[in-house]
Amino acid sequence: MSEILSSTALKTTPLDALNRELGGKMVPFAGYAMPVQYPAGILTEHLHCRAEAGLFDVSHMGQATLSGPGAIAALEALTPTDIQGLKPGRQRYSLLMAENGGILDDFMVARIGPEELFLVVNAACKEADFAHIAANLPPGTTLSRHEDRALLAIQGPKAAAVLARLAPASATSKFMDIIDLEIPGIGRCRASRSGYTGEDGFEISVPGPTAEKFARLLLAEPEVAPVGLGARDSLRLEAGLPLYGNDIDTTTSPIEAGLTFAINKRRKLTWDFPGGPTLRGQLDSGTTRKRVGIQPEGRAPARAGTEITNAHGDIIGKITSGGFGPSINAPVAMGYIDTAHAPDGTQITLLIRGKPSPAVVAPMPVVPHRYAR
């Protein structure tokens, strides 16, 4: 959770008062006061999300609409994503690319209309992301930020049933669909069937003034409990999902990071986006390192920054995210390792607090995704 900052001038989300009322332990995160956990604790929150439905405040994320003539082509020029082929009502995972083939940020893009896109970007990167996009727009195209809206995520195997009680139109959606919903007493909401936990669920953009009311409606359902940033991190780690700033950044490429799926087929015909020629070379010739899952064999979790060695004691990589996986009752980690040692099943050693500890390269995710495809 590298976005945690030490600052006294913190922004708050529309759910700040509710988060505190619920007993949220508030911490600085990407410039905001955010709940890292509630009284139930991270372990209980994590397992509740896997079994029923967890409600997350993710209003610190950046939301914006990109619209006008040339909007789609302009954004596509900055990413490896086939945005022109994205159908209205559908969403894709995408990457803002640097000229060196590194990743400026990962984000979600949805097509709302012929020349209208809805974007959700990472909190710590949103100022830079929106400035970068705005600087590359043609005349007549506008980027409108939605600072007046909250973003809630409801995740877990019972999340869809819960939302359907309040918004029946959501029931027929599938993974990566995005729909506008009119919820009585709340207003117009935009719900995408996606999330960051590996579970089925929705991320819902809600008017800021009615966000607390909407959250209370969801929490009143018997399956729903509030979940903080701590469990959000352990859930995404079990799901093998990279966190920007930890597992991907401007020094990592999509090929090294195992995100080649984000380079859509049509874009591989031309590679006409920032870093394209570099990524084409990596795809053709391979990379010297890869992001892999790592299963420590002991009980001690391997945190970010832990060095990885081979049998001879040579450093061959580093952990980028690690912790305890409540679903498997064991430590779980991911990191970058020399390609020669990257195959699943390779025995490696982790230097945890300077002490060697055995581990094995393992498939990701350790908990299967349960998206509604």
What percentage of the chain carries pLDDT values higher than 90? 97
Per-residue pLDDT, 8: 60
For 191, the token pair is 């719900």
For 123, the token pair is 């909190």
Q: Is the confidence at residue 6, as pLDDT, over 60?
A: no
Q: Kindly report, residue by residue over 220-242, the tens digit of the pLDDT.
A: 999 999 999 999 999 999 999 99
Sign of CA dihedral 159, 164, 170, 172: positive
Contact 304, 245 (CB under 8 A): no
Enumerate domains of the chain plus CATH numbers: 36-287 (3.30.1360.120), 288-362 (2.40.30.110)
Find out whether the peptide bond into 209 is cis, omega within 30 degrees of 0: no
What percentage of the chain carries pLDDT values higher than 70? 98
Say which residues have a Cβ less than 8 Å from residue 173's Cβ, sequence separation at least 6.
Answer: 179, 191, 193, 372
Say which residues have a Cβ less than 8 Å from residue 262's Cβ, sequence separation at least 6.
Answer: 80, 81, 93, 94, 95, 106, 254
Q: Kindly report, residue by residue over 261-270, the tens digit of the pLDDT.
A: 999 999 999 9
CA atoms within 13 A on the CB side of 110: 24
Backbone angles phi, psi at 47, to 5 degrees: -70, -30
Instruction: Give mean pLDDT, residues 245-257.
Output: 98
Per-residue pLDDT, 308: 98
Sign of CA dihedral 185, 197, 75, 131: positive
Q: Where does the chain have alpha helices with state H?
A: 16-21, 42-51, 71-76, 126-134, 159-166, 211-219, 229-238, 276-285
Distance of alpha carbon 304 from alpha carbon 319, whole angstroms: 5
Q: Is the confidence at residue 171, as pLDDT, over 60?
A: yes
Find out whether the peptide bond into 365 is cis, omega within 30 degrees of 0: yes
Contact 191, 174 (CB under 8 A): no
Per-residue pLDDT, 3: 44
What's the chain's average pLDDT? 96
Instruction: Give mean pLDDT, residues 282-301.
Output: 96
Coil, strand or helix at 78: coil
Residue 285: its H or E element: helix 276-285
Per-residue pLDDT, 298: 86
Q: What is the DSSP letter of 311?
A: T
Q: Kindly report, residue by residue over 69-118, the tens digit of the pLDDT.
A: 999 999 999 999 999 999 999 999 999 999 999 999 999 999 999 999 99
Instruction: Give mean pLDDT, residues 149-159.
Output: 98
For 67, the token pair is 């619209």
